[in-house]
Amino acid sequence: MAQALRLAERGSASTHPNPRVGCVIVKNGKVIAEGFHERAGDRHAEINALREAGDKARGADVFVTLEPCCHTGRTGPCTQALLAHKPHKVWIAMQDPNPLVAGKGIAQLRKAGIEVDVGVLQDEAAALNRGFVSRMTRGRPFVTLKLAASLDGRTATSTGESKWITSEEARADVHRLRAESGAVLTSSATIMADDPELTVRFGSFPRQPDRIVLDTHLRSSLDAKVWAPGARRILLAVRPRSDQVDELKARGVEVQLVGVSSGGHVDLASALTSLGRSEINEVFVECGPRLAGAFLQSGLVDELVIYFAPSLLGHDSRPLAELPGLRSLHQRIPLEFLETKKIGPDLRITARPLPLSPLHQS
């Protein structure tokens, strides 16, 4: 199963919105075939492995990282292909959280007399498809908030200068994470300040990530680089002008209207739900301190990735995140460090926000 998971990782930047799946077929203690899902619309991992195995799959053990599908979507059901090859046993890392499958594929195999074992390296399989699991179980994407700062937690000088605080190695790492997440989200403030492309320009990847802009009243320029073709583009807005919406739609941009919270700000939860309905599994958030703070204080950040450069910018410079209303230690944002790694001269810290104190909600 560990080999099947390694195969599944090869589709990390290309299978969206489908899950990443790998399959290994073993007979008489030897691997006779392998396969993985390369991109949405192409053959699933099981089909690729079964095609390689051919008649040898009969009586073999099949190791697959996700429950085989039993419905017809972009491709046919994998359960039927497995039944046609009559394997001895199917080992499955985790049940598919998709309600269209969710145990039905396992039941079909067992009903046909094939032995099925579920749960081998289940945690690793779930981590590999955290975005897909999030969308299927919570109705929203997995959210990673990325920040880059000096060692004293500053993201730009007082005049707004920020290129470049971190190294080229760190920026290449960010581009890899963009590609693997499959969708990048930023704010109108960042568009107006930096006019970013939000593309992947380091490395070779099979697709460009979706570009998402949270722009309440569509203040950013319609000629901003983020609206250039080459990827799926989405505007999240509250009350944009109809003429602006028409122009963006004419350029192929999707416009999604989102709600407003009781405080008059964009309802981030409803925005993420809207993205979930658009089949977006993961969102990589790159934004300024105001939106970063709003995401953190909303409790919607699943993972935090911070790149710290070995430099100091001083107290007049801009902070990592604006956290209004934080007046006591009880209101701080608690984190759990998951990994620290040196990227070039910089330090990358990966952390998980812990549940917020009730005082954050008051």
Q: What is the pLDDT of residues 204-237, one digit of tens each?
A: 888 999 999 998 888 888 899 999 999 999 999 8
Domain end: 82, 105, 130, which one? 130
Confidence bin at 362 (pLDDT 50/70/90):
very low
| pLDDT tens-digit map of 323-335 | 888 888 888 899 9
Confidence bin at 359 (pLDDT 50/70/90):
low
Mean pLDDT of 50-60: 93
Whether residue 349 sits in one domain with residue 241: yes
Judged by average pLDDT, the poorest of 34-38, 42-46, 156-160, 298-302 is 156-160
Mean per-residue pLDDT over the chain, rounded: 91
- State the catalytic residue, choosing from 46, 67, 180, 286: 46
Our answer to whether residue 169 is catalytic in this structure is no
Q: Could you tell me which residue, 355 or 85, shows the higher pLDDT?
A: 85
Domain end: 97, 130, 163, which one? 130
Distances (CA, A) of 105 to 49, 90, 121: 18, 11, 19
Domain end: 99, 130, 161, which one? 130
How far apart are the C-alpha atoms of 222 and 115, rounded to whole Å?
57
Helical packing angle, 78-85 and 104-111, nearest 10°:
20
Whether residue 304 sits in one domain with residue 223: yes
| pLDDT at residue number 249 | 92
Where in the sequence is the domain holding 193, given as residue range(s)? Answer: 140-361
| pLDDT tens-digit map of 239-293 | 888 888 899 999 999 999 888 876 667 899 999 999 999 999 999 999 999 999 9
Q: In this structure, are residues 286 and 127 in contact, taking their beta carbons and an 8 Å threshold?
A: no
| pLDDT at residue number 73 | 64
Into how many domains does the chain fold? 2
Identify whether 346 is part of a domain.
yes
